Amino acid sequence: MTTIAIAVAMAVLDSAIANIALPTIAQELHATPAASIWVVNAYQLAVTVSLLACAALGDIIGYKRIYWTGLLVFTAASGACALSGSLPVLVAARVVQGFGGAGIMSVNTALVRFIYPRAHLGRGIGFNAFIVAVASATGPSIAAAVLSVASWHWLFAVNVPLGIIALWYGARVLPATPRSGNRFDLAGALLNAASLGLLMIAVDEMGRGENPWLGAAEIAGAVVFGVILINRARAMTAPLLPVDLFRRPVFALSVGTSICSFMAQALAYVALPFWFEDVGHRSQIATGLLMTPWPAIVVIIAPIAGRLSDRSAPALLGAVGLGVMTVGMVALLTLPVDAGWLDVAWRMAVCGLGFGFFQSPNNRLLLGSAPPERSGGASGMLSTARLLGQTVGSALVALTFGLSGAAGTGVAGGVRMALGVGAAAAGIATVISLLRLGQMRTAT
């Protein structure tokens, strides 16, 4: 678990710290702000399009091999990022780093299943969620601290010694896992990459108000590739896109719950800083502090919820958590412009309490609903659902800002609209989670 914690923390941190460093990177590499965005997008895109392929390979050749190879690629690419002297080289290195990150994130939950005994699986998943929450919460602060004393290159260079330690340790202690013996579906991997890649690019472009016709064409292409992929997968016993697992109601509902919940989280995380800075006229430091209660509470609650999910119905725990999160999102909708620190903190804390209470039980139920030999497919789908939810949520914020601008309500109207959509997404996730209660006996 120490090995997993180091690698997962690095992968999560690198998806967050680059955002903070973008202005500095753009200035030093003489790039435009629009071009520098690809330092972030290249990593996210590479991770998303390769997650399910890495998960499928994990089922075939073993999760340890995929995890260790992904960590090796990630560490080497981090060194290349640190040595980059131009934007194209940095973006190319970030693409390779994203492929390595996919190897880590695609099977880390599957490995947890073989590290912890079944009776304590929730505890292991809770610890994993704790690491992700800590990395997400501290990412901006770590980036700011490094940039205050060193150049942006060190944001990537610090991964190299940590990666070497994790590689050495992981080679000795990570467990060997069963292999399915299936053949890798290369055509399926290419179709999956094309479908998800086009979808993410289209959502991002349309959210930023770029050519709507191009976005529509990209979505149409994503749908066509997706339909072909699904039709191919139906005839396979262990497909790359786990349609066999989607035939299990608990699995399908858990994926839907995860997408909706992370969409709600992204809507709040992206929209609220605009409320605090543009509407409330607070500083960036104050905004960072006001955003802290949500992830801080998740850090505390996620391990507790994981332990509880070993003893109680995970679907019920998840529904309760999402219900609390919905209440918190609605409370944020009532936030006055001149709200004090305490008014903001308790609302953010309620959201964090609900989200933290939901995440570990949901992940346990999703992973536990798949047979052991399909743990890789389940783990990959778990990470894919998170990324899809976050991507769509971020794009919806841009869309609500565009609509509010057209309606003349400004930034304040856009933020309230985004929070309203987020509250609705959290409410839908609550209902979906409750639908799983009838399937609990089969799933566990």
Q: Are 389 and 361 contained in the same domain?
A: yes
- What's 174's domain CATH number? 1.20.1250.20
Distance of CA 394 to the CA centre of its chain: 12
Q: Are 253 and 206 contained in the same domain?
A: no
Residue 397 to residue 443: CA distance in whole angstroms:
35
Q: What's the number of domains the chain is made of? A: 3
Tokens 């590739």 correspond to 225
Q: Are 290 and 409 contained in the same domain?
A: yes
Each as own residue / partner, the long-range contacts of residues 399-404 (CB below 8 Å, 24 or more positions apart, any chain) are 399/206, 399/207, 400/271, 401/274, 402/209
- 94 HSE (CA, 13 A, CB side): 24
Higher pLDDT, 23 or 52: 52
Q: Are 217 and 265 contained in the same domain?
A: no
pTM for the model stands at 0.80
| Tokens found for residue 228 | 């072909």
CB 412 within 8 A of CB 277: no
Residue 388 to residue 392: CA distance in whole angstroms:
6
pLDDT value for 443: 42
Q: Please report, as a single letter, which amino acid is at residue 126.
A: G
Distance of CA 168 to the CA centre of its chain: 27
Residue 204 to residue 226: CA distance in whole angstroms:
18
Q: Are 166 and 195 contained in the same domain?
A: no
Residue 333 to residue 50: CA distance in whole angstroms:
37
Q: Are 202 and 64 contained in the same domain?
A: no
The last residue of one of the domains, among 218, 235, 252, is 235
Q: Are 318 and 277 contained in the same domain?
A: yes
The last residue of one of the domains, among 194, 216, 235, is 235
Q: Are 173 and 192 contained in the same domain?
A: no
pLDDT confidence tier of residue 395, bands split at 50, 70 and 90: confident
Q: In this predicted model, what pLDDT tens digit does every residue of 78-130 receive, in sequence order?
A: 999 999 888 899 999 999 999 999 999 888 888 888 888 888 888 888 888 78
**Domain span holding position 63:** 1-183
pLDDT value for 13: 80
Q: Are 135 and 230 contained in the same domain?
A: no
CB 7 within 8 A of CB 166: yes
pLDDT value for 270: 78
Q: Are 252 and 322 contained in the same domain?
A: yes
Question: Residue ranges of the alpha helices (H) in 275-340?
Answer: 284-291, 293-309, 314-333
Q: Are 420 and 321 contained in the same domain?
A: yes
pLDDT value for 207: 61
Residue 213 to residue 216: CA distance in whole angstroms:
5
CB neighbours of residue 214 within 10 Å: 13
Q: In this predicted model, what pLDDT tens digit does every residue of 367-393 receive, in sequence order?
A: 878 887 777 788 888 888 888 888 788
Task: Summarize the confidence of residues 136-158 as an average pLDDT.
Answer: 80
The last residue of one of the domains, among 143, 167, 183, is 183
Of the chain, the percentage scoring pLDDT greater than 70 comes to: 94
Q: Which of 107, 123, 118 is nearest to 444 (CA)?
A: 118
Q: Which of 8, 48, 43 is nearest to 174 (CA)?
A: 8
Q: In this predicted model, what pLDDT tens digit does every residue of 289-306 receive, in sequence order?
A: 788 888 888 888 888 888
Task: Summarize the confidence of residues 25-38 as an average pLDDT.
Answer: 76
Inter-axis angle of helices 87-115 and 341-368, to 10 degrees?
60
Q: Are 387 and 320 contained in the same domain?
A: yes
Q: Which of 400, 364, 358 is nearest to 267 (CA)?
A: 400
Q: CA 358 → CA 12, 326, 334, distances in Å?
A: 20, 12, 23
Q: CA 277 → CA 74, 270, 288, 291, 292, distances in Å?
A: 35, 12, 10, 12, 15
